[in-house]
Amino acid sequence: MPIPPPPPSRAEYIWFDGDFVPWEAAQVHVLSHVLHYGSSVFEGIRCYRTPGGPAVFRLREHVLRLLFSAKVARMDLPFGEDALFDACLNSVRRNGFESCYLRPIVFRGAGSMGVLPVDNPIHVAVAAWDWGAYLGKEAIEQGVDVMVSSWRKMPPGTLPALIKMGGAYAMATLAKLEATRLGFSEAILLDFEGRVAEGTGENLFAVLDGKLMTPNLGHSILGGITRRSVMQLARDHGIEVSEEPLTRDMLYMVQEIFFTGTAAEVTPVRSVDGLAVGKGKPGPITRKLQADFFDIVNGRVADRHEWLTCVPAATRATPA
């Protein structure tokens, strides 16, 4: 079977069903249920380089969200919370990363070919690779130009937006392809009623007259872990935060917009549909929250909310 090209800086090992296997050996059969029906749930987690060694951001919360996604998708996991937690930490250690992106995934494997998974095993893997700024380093500094997608988020009662299910990203891919084809970096998706939901892989925040606003969980969004963290940082700074419906025209009215996400971190939005957001450059509240976020995850200031799990240096060299 031809081996796909490696990501830019891939790990040597992938944790696959309980063991570390060489990157090339972590393969699935073409008749895997997941390939046909999108039956996976997954996570995206970042490990940062800090003066105290590699540290994983909010690992426990990510593992718990993976378990929640699996529960809703009715996938019985052969591994528990602690085993998954350790698998993530060991993926950093075993591959000798200082910083990396971690991708745990739970999926239905080969077995019955019908939609009903009868005898399809549940597989679990954790992959790691070096992933810089998702929307580009310049994006973090200058902001991104985005469009409101012609694609909508799935309405309530269809695909659950609160879980990270593989199949849901088929729609995100359509929106991302549309945006990039038209020269934008990212798409903003509206929910079925036309209210703002989120980006294809990011939550959205807006600032109006000093108040930070973000759509609430009822608007077909993922309950982002970075979202929750940034809301906490805003409160730390005495900034009022409110979860409330946002409309498309409010995006044109607010003074600041930014995305949050594990991959995108805190990325300012400088224009929507070709209209400048505020002065067309990252605003003061975005800057403040962004700086605080990066100072914490990079270990430049105290980890006051205990968001980081250090990967101890002594065990990083664990032999095979």
Interaction site with ligand PMP (CB under 6 A):
44, 164, 198, 201-203, 222, 224-227, 260-262
**Six-digit token string for 23:** 């990157």
Residue with Cβ nearer ligand PMP (164 or 316):
164
**Six-digit token string for 185:** 């970096």
Q: How far is the CB of 287 from ligand PMP (least distance, A)?
A: 19
Q: How far is the CB of 273 from ligand PMP (least distance, A)?
A: 20
Segments of the chain assigned E as strands: 13-16, 19-22, 40-42, 45-50, 53-57, 100-108, 122-129, 144-152, 186-190, 196-199, 203-208, 211-214, 241-243, 256-261, 265-272, 275-276, 308-310
Q: How far is the CB of 161 from ligand PMP (least distance, A)?
A: 8
164 is catalytic: yes
Distance CA 276, CA 255 (A): 9
Are the CB atoms for 41 and 296 separated by under 8 Å? no
Q: How far is the CB of 92 from ligand PMP (least distance, A)?
A: 17
CA-based angle 29:175:231, to the nearest 5? 100
Closest CA to 258 of 288, 237, 236: 288
Q: How far is the CB of 219 from ligand PMP (least distance, A)?
A: 11
The number of beta carbons lying within 10 Å of the beta carbon of residue 281 is 15
Q: How far is the CB of 128 from ligand PMP (least distance, A)?
A: 16
The DSSP annotation for 91-131 comes to: HHHHHT-SSEEEEEEEEE-BS--SSS-SSPPEEEEEEEE--
Residue with Cβ nearer ligand PMP (44 or 117):
44
Are the CB atoms for 75 and 117 separated by under 8 Å? no
Distance CA 253, CA 248 (A): 9
Element (H, E) at 204: strand 203-208
Set 164, 279, 281, 288: catalytic member? 164
| Strand partners for 195 | 247
Q: Any idea which residue has 């930014």 for tokens?
A: 258
Catalytically active residues, by annotation: 164
